[in-house]
Each structure stands twice: as structure tokens, then as C-alpha cells.
Structure 1
Amino acid sequence: MNDDPTTEILDATYQALCKHGYAELTVQDIAAESAMSKASIHYHYDSKDDLFVACLESLYDRYTAHIEAAAGETPRKQLRSLLELLVTDTGEISGTEFRTAMLELKAQAPYNEEIQDRLVEFDAVLFERLEEIIEAGVSRGEFTDRIDPSVAAESLITTITGAQTRRVAVDYSTEQPSEMMTGDIETNLLTEMTVEGRQ
């Protein structure tokens, strides 16, 4: 058992959300995923919505840590590492559980401003990281200077989001979108010198 009751509750919320979805989820379901009672959970959080906002904040911390940890000696390698982390089925933030939890929470965003605000933060941190990598690649001559880093980042986010949603909703393989994005990088971002040298 975790010594911090709020951490235990948020971990249980995450697990219960993946199992039951948002609409059907009850505080009893969350209690069943932990050693805590319904009364203890209500003591820390007034409502289910409060729980989900707190859960999103916890997921955000994990998400940003993994985004920043994308490794690579060059911008090209960093970009590939980040895309693999986000789209394939390896890693803590790319597995089915995380994607399912995020999709459930995204479905509530039009009806809950706090959840929407937290999801905007997820989107912003990914955009900033992608833009940063692409700008570095342009500065180093690894990516072509004909591209606008912000437009390229937005395009990649759209593809990533679609791939993640299809994976959860229809069990679509992540291999094809991963290969497609790699192909887009080779075609649209890399300079001729980088392609020839395979940096």
C-alpha cells in the first residue's frame, strides 16, 4: 500500500477508469482498486469530477517526464524516439491503459472546463517539445529550412492523436502510423544531405 493516501486514490482512479470508463465509474469501483473505503475517498475528494481533475494532474506529471526523456544524439533521433514513445505499444505513456484513460477523459472535455484546461496543457507540452526538436534540426542543417517548425509540429500532433485514438477505439495497429510518420520525416523534414548521410 502507498503511504500517501491521495497517491493511492489516484492510482486506483486510473485503474478503475481503464476498466470501467468514465460514465459507469463509481467511487465504489475506485475503492475496489485500493485498500481505502468510499468514505476515505470522499474525505479527500468531494466529487468524481474533482477526482478526475486530480488524476489528470498526476498523469500530466508522468507524461511530461517521459516527453522530456526522449533520447537521441541528434534532433532526428530525438524526434524518432519521441514518436516511437507516443505511437507504438512500448513504454508507460503509450500502452493501452494510458491511452484508454486519456480517451475517456478527452470525451468529458466538452462538458467539463477543468478537464479541458488540463488537456490543453498536455497538448501544449507536446507541441512545444516537437517544435523545439524541429527548430534544433533546422538550426543544425539536419532538417530543411523550407518548413515551418510550428506547422510541422501541429501536423505531427494531429497524426499522433489520430493513431492513439484508433488504437483504443478499434484496436488499430500502431505499426502503420509509426511507419507513415517516419516516411513523412524522411520526405518533408530532412535535408538531402541528411538523407544521403543517414545521420
Structure 2
Amino acid sequence: MSADPSTAEEIMAGVHHALREYGYADLTMQDIADACSKSKSLLHYHYDTKEDLLVAFLDHLITTFERCVEAGRDRPATERLVEFIAWFGFDPDETDREHFHIALLELRSQGPFNDRIRSRLQRSDRVFRDTVAEIIEQGIEEGVFEPVDVTETAALLVATLDGARTRQITLGELDVDGDTYTRTVARTLIDRVVDPILVDGVELPDVSSVEVLLPRDEPVAVPAVDDSPSTGDDR
């Protein structure tokens, strides 16, 4: 059963908090209930299993990203593309973001074995690639990008950025030439992939100063609502 919008948002915030704190493997429904101040029985009323809830959470993340992209469509293509590239970068002191992405990486590892999770991962990848392709097409129409194969270019950018973030959180490669691995890769992509397709005379905003309006995995305030005792299966 689907929760009403307000309750659903609180539960999704609870999943976010609990994943950061416990990771994917050790996460229980009780952990999520505690994080959103709901009863475990309420969670089971809306989501039969932990898998149902995590699948809903992945849908929530993708939908939130899509809404942010839609809200920023009136910005110049150069700004939007640099923003997307900057979105993947994070600093060593952003431990909450790192813990959250480690948990997501654990969850992603279930893709080969779980059709429902794999379908969400495929949707997420498709949304990212389509977003970049749409931005490049916008830039070509605006006359700031040279005509290129937008599908190939989008696939290259997404694969490289996703790989850089995975490498940083799994291998601990945090310092490359005085900066984090993801930020170094971001600058390299701009130098090697984006700059060459710029029309003469067009300049890009600096990746370190561009305003990032896409969702940045920050903690969400969760109001206390329900103290009723929990029941039901912990998993």
C-alpha cells in the first residue's frame, strides 16, 4: 500500500538516515522506523518487506533527481553541464555523503541477483545519460556546442563520473594533485571532453564555483510523529 505524500517523504528521509548510519547489509526495518520516528508496524503497513521499501527509496531518489533537472531547464546549457559534472564530486570531509554512497554501492551490488533493483539501476543510468544528452542538444541549439554524437558523449561522461565516485569511495583515492579524485576527474573531463566541443569564444563556468542545484545527498530533517510500539518482522 502506498503511503500518503507527507508520510512517504518522512519514511524516505528515514531510509536515507538509516542507510548512512548502518549501511545496506545490516539495515533493518526497525532501524528505519527509529530514524523516521515511525512504528515498524506502520512501515509494514505501507511496505510489506525491506526490499519493497528500498525499491521505493530508489524510485524516490530518481524522481527527486528528475524534478531538480526539470526545475533547472531554463539555465544555459554550459552551466547545466558543468553543474552535472560537479554534482559527482565530493570532499574528504563530506563523510555523510561518503557513507550514503557506500550504502548505495552495497545496494547496487544486488543488481545482478535482484530484478527489481536492477531495473531501478537501469532506469537511473538511463535518466543520467538522457539528462546529459538533452543538455548537449540544448547547447548545440544555443550555438555554444559543436555538433557531436550526443548519445556517445553522454555515455562517456556518465560512465567516467560514476566510475570516479566509485573509485574514490572504495579505494580511498582522495588526494590527486592536491584535490579529491572525483574533482580531479571532473576537471579532466571538462578539459578533454567538454572544452573541445565548445564553439570558439564560448567559456565555461568554473567547476569549483558553479551552483549545484541537483540533490546533494544532504541529511533531511525528520520530524518526530509516532511513538507507538513496533511489531512485525524486523527484516
TM range (shorter): 0.7 to 0.9
Is 1:159 aligned with 2:164? no
Query: What is the rounded CA distance, in whole Å, between the counterparts of 2:104 and 2:157 in structure 1?
Result: 18
Query: What is the rounded CA distance, in whole Å, between the counterparts of 1:72 and 1:99 in structure 2?
Result: 29
Would you say the 8 A contact 1:71–1:81 is kept in 2?
no
1:159–1:72 distance in 2 versus 1, CA, 3 Å: farther
> How far did residue 153 of structure 1 move?
0.5
1:88–1:22 distance in 2 versus 1, CA, 3 Å: closer
Match of 2:183 in 1: 175
For the residue of structure 1 that corresponds to 2:23, the secondary structure is helix
TM superposition score normalised by structure 2: 0.70
Would you say the 8 A contact 2:86–2:183 is kept in 1?
no
Would you say the 8 A contact 1:67–1:126 is kept in 2?
no
> How far did residue 6 of structure 1 move?
3.2
Paired amino acid for 2:203 = R
> How far did residue 88 of structure 1 move?
4.2
Match of 2:27 in 1: 25
Paired amino acid for 1:159 = T
Paired amino acid for 2:40 = K
Match of 2:223 in 1: none
Paired positions, count: 190
Query: What is the rounded CA distance, in whole Å, between the counterparts of 1:95 and 1:153 in structure 2?
Result: 24
1:127–1:34 distance in 2 versus 1, CA, 3 Å: same
Query: What is the rounded CA distance, in whole Å, between the counterparts of 1:97 and 1:62 in structure 2?
Result: 20
Q: Which has the higher helix share?
A: 1
> How far did residue 148 of structure 1 move?
1.0
> How far did residue 187 of structure 1 move?
4.5
Would you say the 8 A contact 1:12–1:33 is kept in 2?
yes
Paired amino acid for 1:25 = L
Pick from 94, 98, 101 the counterpart of residue 99 of structure 1: 101
1:31-90 Cα distance to aligned partner (Å, 9 max, x none): 22122222222222111110101111111122212333457853222211221123345x
Query: What is the rounded CA distance, in whole Å, between the counterparts of 1:180 and 1:126 in structure 2?
Result: 19
Paired amino acid for 2:70 = E
Structure 1 unaligned spans of 5+: none
Structure 2 unaligned spans of 5+: 175-179, 205-235
Would you say the 8 A contact 1:79–1:130 is kept in 2?
yes
| Percent of aligned positions that are identical | 32
Kindly report structure 1 stretches of 4+ aligned residues shifted beyond 4 Å: 69-73
TM superposition score normalised by structure 1: 0.81
Aligned pairs for 1:109-148 within 5 A = 109-145=111-147, 147-148=148-149
1:98–1:25 distance in 2 versus 1, CA, 3 Å: closer
Query: What is the rounded CA distance, in whole Å, between the counterparts of 2:122 and 2:79 in structure 1?
Result: 27
Match of 1:58 in 2: 60
Paired amino acid for 2:64 = R
1:15–1:99 distance in 2 versus 1, CA, 3 Å: same
Would you say the 8 A contact 2:59–2:120 is kept in 1?
yes
> How far did residue 159 of structure 1 move?
0.9
Tell me how large the CA RMSD over aligned residues is: 2.6
Q: Which moved more, 1:47-56 or 1:36-45?
A: 36-45
